[in-house]
Chains A and B, each alone.
Chain A
Amino acid sequence: LGAALCPGSSPPSPSPLCFPPTVTSEQIEHLHRRFKQLSRDQLTIRKENFDSIPDLEFNPIRGKIVHAFFDKRNLRQESDGLADEINFEDFLTIMSYFRPIEMNMDEEQLDRFRKEKLKFLFHMYDSDHDGKITLQEYRNVVEELLSGNPHLEKESARSIADGAMMEAASICVGQMGPDQVYEGITFEDFLKMWQGIDIETKMHVRFLNMETIAHCY
């Protein structure tokens, strides 16, 4: 898979470690075409390439989403930091966080699946990569979500963030003593918060099944 991609060629076949067999080669072709469109026929995409998507402009957390594509923690599990540019393989790796549940998954696979998605989300909040979501980081996210509305002051965003952190603390740590300081939400705490809530159906992008579209000659 390390082979260079020529812009004109068809995409390489995926390695069996990265993708389950249910991602069809046709979907990969579609994504490849999209990749070429975004990269303007170059081999890699940079942050600026995402500027050409009008729909994305509306998104308040646009910055975080684009950032997620270049976050090395999402690209390769062990490393850290930010990549300057990503190639098609990296693009597919990030897209795979949003693949839908398949029918034939067993318990262990489902659990791993869910953890992967939550980890992706966790990385989005944890912007300094220290493994904890601090109050400040959470405040940043809330402010971004509410940005663009001139009527909301920073104070409101602050109070929302503070309230949410308190709730998170009560779930994860239980009753805190008066001297205890809640450092931040670790990934285990994060998982605890989302126990029982079905995120798999909320965090996926499902490809249309092409065969069911009627053929008109």
Chain B
Amino acid sequence: EDVGSAVAWVGAVWLALVLALIVLPSALGVSLGISEAYMWVLVKTLEWATIRIEKGVKKPQPQMLKSPAANGIIERDETPMEKEIAHLHRVDFEFSDIFYFCRKGFEAIVEDEVTQRFSSEELVSWNLLTRTNVNFHYISLRLTVVWVIGVIVRYCFLLPLRVTLAAIGITSMIVGTTMVGQLPNSSVKNYLSEVVHLTCSRILVRALSGTIHYHNKENKPQKGGICVANHTSPIDAIILTNDGCYAMVGQVHGGLMGVIQRATVKACPHVWFERSEIKDRHLVTKRLREHVADKSKLPILIFPEGTCINNTSVMMFKKGSFEIGGTIYPVAIKYDPQFGDAFWNSSKYNIVSYLLRLMTSWAIVCNVWYMPPMVRKEGEDAVQFANRVKSAIARQGGLTELPWDGGLKRAKVKDTFREEQQKNYSKMLVRNGSIG
């Protein structure tokens, strides 16, 4: 029983420390500087590791530290179809057209813009995590020792700490919002609900060792507006609620998520849809419109891409969110992959393994830019508006812009899209007088 009481005593001290050093400051919105110190140590270590890797490389290999091939590995000839084929044309339609399509086909097979967005970004230099060690083989003893220390620190110290914090965060969220939900509707209730949401978000962010830099806070979303952002991971919502209160929009889930949803909706008017309701687009739009029209309600948070993208690009924004009306507040979120990969590859990992990976990374570092509000212009339809907002977000976050639908992660290209392209080609032939 000596061992038992010793363990209990250690556990109590541990919990007290966590509460005092992390939970309390979160509630008060104060920072004790512990995370900053941790980040500083981390950055220094990774810089040292990078230098060692550079030195340790035996043959002169500048490719080792090449820029990530986000722009592609093959040279694409962007000559429009007309010019190329006209050049090859002799009299009529010839064997020549096949060259163009052959080459385009091969280029697509070697590399396509879309599929690469659904896997994690490759790093320029190894960040001492086992999972990213693809290209970097054994370099030196010192580096390996540091890596082993890193593994111990991450799994034996950081992971339990983070899991504890996450548990505390989620529990206090459920308990806190349920308690606040009992109060009658009043400004006191709103204030308390905001406090609870903010505190729990802060605890959860610390549970991921998150370092978030917010830019242009003067553009923060106002009440009665709609906040749209690019989507990389389920924790995007927490990143944003760490700095302000939003009304979430989403589907009702079962399990723990469902419990959280039911508790929070009592304190704050989040918009949760049943599965059957989601299919009815008019119903969804109507409910959101009602929410937005009420200027006293918190801004809605929507991710128009509809699925997680790997944070190197922004894919098509679904127009539904842009048909609601109201003011759109775009927000760009860019994660720094050096410290931890936030992208959720849902076809590869389920949510639990994803969270485990997150909690055993070094940290989650990201930049959030609040952008000036945008409204739909005269004569602009929802699709054009959506594209305009998408471009703005892509530019701000330094991401590439793609016209593709994030749904391509799972489905094939729509036939209508393909037929458009084939029509273009046939039109060209008719124009050249090859036919008829």
> What residues of chain A have their CB less than 8 Å away from a CB belonging to chain B?
26-27, 30-31, 34, 37-38, 50-62, 65, 95, 98, 121, 124-125, 141-142, 145-149, 151-152, 156, 159-160, 163-164, 167, 193-194, 197, 199, 202-208, 210-211, 213-217
Contact = CB atoms under 8 A, between A and B. Distances in A.
Nearest to B125: A217
Q: Which 5 A-B pairs have the closest CB atoms?
A: A148-B422, A149-B426, A55-B108, A65-B105, A57-B413
B99 interface: yes
A197 B99 CA distance: 12
Contact of B73 (A53, A95, A164, A207): A207
Contacts of B30: none
A52 B115 contact: yes
B67 A213 contact: yes
A164 B115 contact: no
Interface of B: 62-63, 65-67, 69, 71-75, 84, 88, 91-95, 97-116, 119, 404, 408, 412-413, 417-419, 421-423, 425-427, 429-430, 434-436
Nearest to B111: A34
B421 A58 contact: yes
A199 B94 CA distance: 14
* Chain B at the A interface: SS class: helix
Given A61-B101, A145-B425, A54 B66 contact: no
5 contacts: A37-B119, A55-B113, A57-B417, A61-B102, A145-B101
Contact of A147 (B109, B116, B422): B422
A159 B436 CA distance: 9
A159 B92 CA distance: 11
Contact of A60 (B95, B101, B106): B101
A34 B73 CA distance: 11
Nearest to B137: A10
A210 B63 contact: yes
Nearest to B104: A59
Nearest to B66: A210
A31 B65 CA distance: 19
* Chain A at the B interface: SS class: helix
Contacts of A124: 98, 102
A214 B124 CA distance: 13
Contacts of B72: 208
Contact of B106 (A98, A197, A199): A98
B413 A215 contact: no
A199 B435 CA distance: 25
Nearest to B112: A55
A73 B63 CA distance: 36
A61 B97 CA distance: 10
B106 A54 contact: no
A164 B67 contact: no
Contacts of A160: 92-93, 434-435
Contacts of A95: 106, 110
B62 A208 contact: no
B408 A156 contact: no
B82 to A, nearest CB: 15
A21 B71 CA distance: 26
Nearest to A160: B93
A210 B69 CA distance: 9
B73 A208 contact: yes
A166 to B, nearest CB: 10
A34 B93 contact: no
A62 B66 CA distance: 33
A57 B109 CA distance: 11
Nearest to B77: A206
B435 A152 contact: yes
